[in-house]
Structure 1
């Protein structure tokens, strides 16, 4: 199968990153829900149902983000249907974009059906039709249906990494590990989200240790693939070890090592949490004092200037004609980092709540 490469950079905007994120979580949630049905006990069905209820809403965001990225609403439709004179379906087996569009459509069907099944099985919708559909997982046909959907979920979670690998861009095109890395990350993030919801259901407490253990293996697999990612880069590995990449690796460490430490040494978290809370409270109080103090000094200075002018408002300062006033750009580093911490934050939060 020939590779499809972009001649120029794809120029993806920030919302395509959200597409990668939500697609990975949706596919991962469906896979975990299926695993709990096929290899878990009846007590795990509550967690499995929650996984299916999570998968479809997350997937709904993806076509919207793709449509925005393409720029024209009909472009996504044209990737599925040939509107030319020949007509018929538009499917290109050699194109990752075409495979992704069809995979997204097919997985959406399976995800929607299991979403309806979960609504009926859990009694969230009081209707006979939903109750009948809710009995689908108890039949062999339902199990086969979930297995096929899980295969599509794996494809959705992994193909976004493959899409990066064929973009003909430095670093991304120099390694074969991105597909597996995206899959492991999607599974780990999905396990964290399911844990956050499952903890609210007492009947799902049996599934807690299973999800914790699965998440641990997913994180370890992710770390292995990260090492392989660096090894397979060869001569360009120096590119990803400096500059802005340092922030990325800091985020990776927070999102992988910290959850593992919380899983294996929960007592450490209980000892450190009060210290971190005190430091954060003190830092917040000091920032508030600096802001309030600055406001008071500014108000006092304006009042003094007004009195010096006989009670009139102070005149605005003149700016030389060759100078222009410009607001200094401000950047809050914690806020900037938090924007990139979606999946690691979910994993750390889920692990931290489990340790309590």
Structure 2
């Protein structure tokens, strides 16, 4: 049975999305992932980790800024976006939260996550009051809660696709994990890029994490393929020209996978295990850029075949 015949099984027309949604998925993954990585470094608390913490929180805030704009522009009636958060039914005004609606949950999670990101930005900018408030156990609790929302934001876009009735998207359960791993990999690459451009901070732990995220993303990509085979949707997901996007996405995994396969590690005088890089490799920005392009291509490869 071809995918044209199987289209009837989904009982739904193609989504009327614009290109805005692609960049929303991209920036949301980077924002959530950057926040989580920065928070992990902050919880570890090493002096050498401070540049990653600052850059991570700033990057998370900047990446989050276009997300609500992209969502609003993608709506059929952008000026009514606030209806998603406030019930305008006559006689029944109030907050509009629908726990059973992935879209409603996502909007509110984005709003709450924005509050955590803003506070962390003030921390990164050196506001003494915020640094005092976030000190001790209370700060760690707040940070962990923020990380939970960050993980949700980085991965829920894939879950949002999976719970739809669209072909390909609804035929696999791997999209949430795939988008999360991709977002974390892209966020690590973004922070590596920023560290190298600023020539500050220890990039070793970030390199290790990016390589591990790349392997996890590859494993989930294999699961994605395997789950599409019984549904007969493999040809549709990887047909030309979308196959070109998948090749770009796979190319974005190569730096991390190749680095992990190389596997050279060293121990610093402080007892920190770091990957060994050549002087030229440590300064290059090409690998992180390729990874980020691959992250964007992955989302495009998942979204576009359904249109």
**In the alignment, what sits opposite 1:78?**
83
Which ranges in structure 1 are unaligned for 5 or more consecutive residues? 121-129, 274-337, 347-356
3-state SS, counterpart of residue 199 of structure 1: helix
1:191 Cα deviation after fit? 0.5
- Are residue 344 (structure 1) and residue 294 (structure 2) matched? yes
1:134 Cα deviation after fit? 2.9
- Are residue 23 (structure 1) and residue 28 (structure 2) matched? yes
Query: Which structure 2 residues correspond to residues 1-356 of structure 1 after superposition, within 5 A?
Result: 7-85=12-90, 86-120=92-126, 130-201=127-198, 204-205=201-202, 208-233=203-228, 234=230, 235-262=232-259, 264-265=261-262, 342-344=292-294
1:40 Cα deviation after fit? 4.7
CA contact (8 A) 1:117 1:135 kept: no
Shift of the 247–202 alpha-carbon distance from structure 1 to 2, 3 Å rule, reads closer
Tell me how far apart the structure 2 counterparts of residues 57 and 250 of structure 1 sit (CA, whole Å): 29
TM-score by length of 1: 0.68
1:196 Cα deviation after fit? 1.2
User: How many pairs align?
Assistant: 263
Runs (4+) off by over 4 Å: 200-203, 262-267
Tell me how far apart the structure 1 counterparts of residues 210 and 70 of structure 2 sit (CA, whole Å): 28
CA contact (8 A) 2:186 2:295 kept: no
1:176 Cα deviation after fit? 0.3
1:9 Cα deviation after fit? 2.2
1:201 Cα deviation after fit? 5.0
Which ranges in structure 2 are unaligned for 5 or more consecutive residues? 1-9, 263-276, 297-307
Tell me how far apart the structure 1 counterparts of residues 118 and 214 of structure 2 sit (CA, whole Å): 28
1:200 Cα deviation after fit? 4.5
3-state SS, counterpart of residue 86 of structure 2: coil
TM-score by length of 2: 0.79
Structure with larger Rg: 1
CA contact (8 A) 1:19 1:66 kept: yes
CA contact (8 A) 2:34 2:188 kept: yes
**In the alignment, what sits opposite 1:280?**
none
Shift of the 112–188 alpha-carbon distance from structure 1 to 2, 3 Å rule, reads same
CA contact (8 A) 2:252 2:292 kept: no
With CA pairs under 8 Å and 6+ residues apart, which has the higher RCO, 1 or 2?
2
1:57 Cα deviation after fit? 1.2
RMSD: 2.5
